[in-house]
Chains A and B, each alone.
Chain A
């Protein structure tokens, strides 16, 4: 049986400013298929699907649904044409209930009453049909990430989606939640829904999809039936060359303990306890990897170690001296002076002042030290020379110290941060999500630098939600779940399955 294309794209182009995000894309998606779209960060997958959803408008090209060209000017038209999308960042109003979020835009009446009750009834039926267990009256902020995702799926179904687009749906889930999600998606497929799965994870493509489209640098570079292809083949298409999957590294040469963390509790800005009774040591010459799903306290832990956040109880010792406890608190500047370098998780929110030029960012945090400033006066010439040199060493492109930082690409911004934090030969390196949103070339470069530091005897703490990254870099792995450390493994013969169970909080 030849299935009919439910969605067809013809020669779609889209550019943002001078960057072309999608080049001449033509694509067919068959009814009832799970269709994967795979590619690296920045390959244009999300942009393409956002165009289908009407969030962006294409510069040229056609979108056909059931063989009819439709004009999508906003999500409104696409929703009416039966397209639903679960975005990577959930589009939910935190202080609204589940029902309020779902009916938003489809309330059906000006004053709430009759229709609201009807909506609740049909939602309950939908939940039953697709086996989605959701409390409709719960407030979003009280729900876990997995449940929020279900709310998004339910929202799309309620609005009559026949085609459901999911953008990197597993990034925030534990392996077990991923299994749950896949079950839901399969049951949707059974009910004749069409699913488009955007991902950069090869496993998901292999397990779930019927067909797969590979994108690279805004273009489609291949289309396969999943059963006719292999991971290696897809990986090569994604990157455009064969990929080095495992990094060569020597055995660690472990030295003295640098950081001693004892029973610390850390609260976030809203006074919620995010790190609970965590203890560990970090030693010279090793990379300690902290794995875990986003939002399990890694951010707050890293912030506590780097002096951004004071611990609520317990203590952190650096070289044997307390740097954070209920009463003692060293700020990031004091820690930098003790050779602690920090590459933060969120480079745009924390690591850089994107409005500053590159040279200003290259001294950020070290700006008060010689030779960058003397008796509080900034030494322009020294800063410029330093920037020139460091941008050459780290191959930051373009090599213009006076260019405003927001004009650099993600990978080059990350190189600016990394070069800054490494330039003074630190003794401790604390790194969060070093390769998030970075292209493959820069990933290899960054990983190599981190290994080099460890081989030089630097104590490295690596926080990452990318399990592959942890497995390929770390010497020791601990997993963080719900604010607690749940298991420590030496990185020899550890499987991602084992770590995955720990990430879900299953410790037996």
Chain B
């Protein structure tokens, strides 16, 4: 057994960079094993992923487009987690958030486009927050565990949306359960078009200016958590509820606040998907991004910078992964859901697997350097 080290002597980059990277490497090794037992070559798959995600401009566009979604859902999970709440309901909150985007854009189409965008963004947050506030309230006032209630709310959101898409807001001219498309003027500017404006010719990718919104949201979350009273209070509640009460901080209010902000961030996924890419609501458009947000946040250590980097990585996995599924018949996109699970396992639950050894190694080598 390795002796525990003096935590104050461990350099910050060991716990914030070296340990996560080791964990990630382990996760990739295990994932490679899965690809191997599926009858494909993991090394080839890795090459395909790298090429697919960064090998050409459109691929990069797709990578960043996926990353946009992961930033939103990753931030959503992280902010709730700072208050020690497991918001597993990002999926449902994003779904309902998308509904808000569509309804506002669709029914306020008479207003100027920029105002519609603003309203739609607010609507995404409002609708997502509304879907999160009920589990938040029940956790705060009734002690109903938020993990179970948010999961249930995912199922309920799914049922509700199918109902709406089939019976209420369906485009009757279409066979499938989907809405009418928004008018073209309301579509968010695509990366392709922006590039063309500056004279570069780029092929289609779904990347749009929502990406900037995601970057902005990252900064906002960082500021909220570490530079405002609200963030301070939420973290206090998350770490030690009793101490929070002692300091005059209401755990109930902060639990609800954290869930509301979390839901709002998850809801913003709807901006990218509805206003940016599909321009209408498709059945189950969140497609698992909400769950991926959990892996993203845990890998990013619940810090916006970490989440940004983890989102890029997952964007690569998604985009490169689709390249893999195209070329390797035995691999489906579900393989990459499994990879997420492995990453959550190694960078979340097993994050301390080799931490003592790694810290011991670094603290000792530094000590020896200092001696010599």
Chain A residues at the B interface, C-beta cutoff of 8 Å: 16-18, 306-308, 331-336, 342, 344, 349-356, 360, 364-365, 367-368, 373, 376-378, 380, 403-404, 407
**Cα(A56)–Cα(B236), bound, Å:** 33
Among A16, A334, A380, the residue within 8 A (CB) of B4 is A16
Known: A333-B248, A364-B243. A373 touches B5 (CB 8 A): no
Q: What chain B residues lie within 8 Å of A365 (beta carbons)?
A: 246-248
B245 interfacial contact with A, CB 8 Å: yes
Among B226, B236, B240, B246, the residue within 8 A (CB) of A308 is B246
A73 to chain B: closest CB distance in Å?
Answer: 13
A352 and B243 form a contact (CB under 8 A): yes
Chain B residues at the A interface, C-beta cutoff of 8 Å: 3-8, 226-230, 232-233, 235-236, 239-240, 242-250
A364 and B5 form a contact (CB under 8 A): no
Q: What chain B residues lie within 8 Å of A308 (beta carbons)?
A: 245-246
Q: What chain B residues lie within 8 Å of A364 (beta carbons)?
A: 236, 243, 247
A18 and B5 form a contact (CB under 8 A): yes
A367 and B229 form a contact (CB under 8 A): yes
In the complex, 10 of the A-B residue pairs with CB atoms within 8 angstroms, ordered by the A residue number, are: A332-B246, A353-B244, A364-B243, A365-B248, A367-B229, A367-B232, A367-B247, A373-B229, A378-B226, A378-B227
A353 and B6 form a contact (CB under 8 A): no
Q: What chain B residues lie within 8 Å of A403 (beta carbons)?
A: 8
B236 and A376 form a contact (CB under 8 A): no
Q: In the complex, which of the residues B239, B245, B247 has the most CB atoms of chain A within 10 Å of its own CB atom? A: B247
Known: A18-B5, A373-B229. A307 touches B248 (CB 8 A): yes
A337 to B, closest residue via Cβ: B248
Q: What chain B residues lie within 8 Å of A407 (beta carbons)?
A: 7-8
Known: A376-B230, A378-B228, A407-B8. A349 touches B248 (CB 8 A): no
Known: A352-B243, A353-B240, A356-B236. A368 touches B229 (CB 8 A): yes
**Cα(A354)–Cα(B239), bound, Å:** 8
B236 to chain A: closest CB distance in Å?
Answer: 5
A361 to B, closest residue via Cβ: B243
**Cα(A373)–Cα(B6), bound, Å:** 33
B239 and A332 form a contact (CB under 8 A): no
Q: What chain B residues lie within 8 Å of A377 (beta carbons)?
A: 227-229
Q: What chain A residues lie within 8 Å of B245 (beta carbons)?
A: 308, 332
Given contacts A16-B4, A367-B247, A376-B230, 4 further A-B contacts (CB under 8 A): A17-B5, A333-B247, A378-B228, A380-B227
Among A335, A342, A349, the residue within 8 A (CB) of B240 is A349
B81 to chain A: closest CB distance in Å?
Answer: 13
A336 to B, closest residue via Cβ: B248
A376 and B228 form a contact (CB under 8 A): yes
B229 to chain A: closest CB distance in Å?
Answer: 4
Q: What chain B residues lie within 8 Å of A307 (beta carbons)?
A: 248
**Cα(A255)–Cα(B54), bound, Å:** 76
A360 and B246 form a contact (CB under 8 A): no
A342 and B246 form a contact (CB under 8 A): yes
**Cα(A423)–Cα(B235), bound, Å:** 24
Q: What chain A residues lie within 8 Å of B5 (beta carbons)?
A: 17-18
A420 to B, closest residue via Cβ: B247
A355 to B, closest residue via Cβ: B239
**Cα(A352)–Cα(B232), bound, Å:** 13
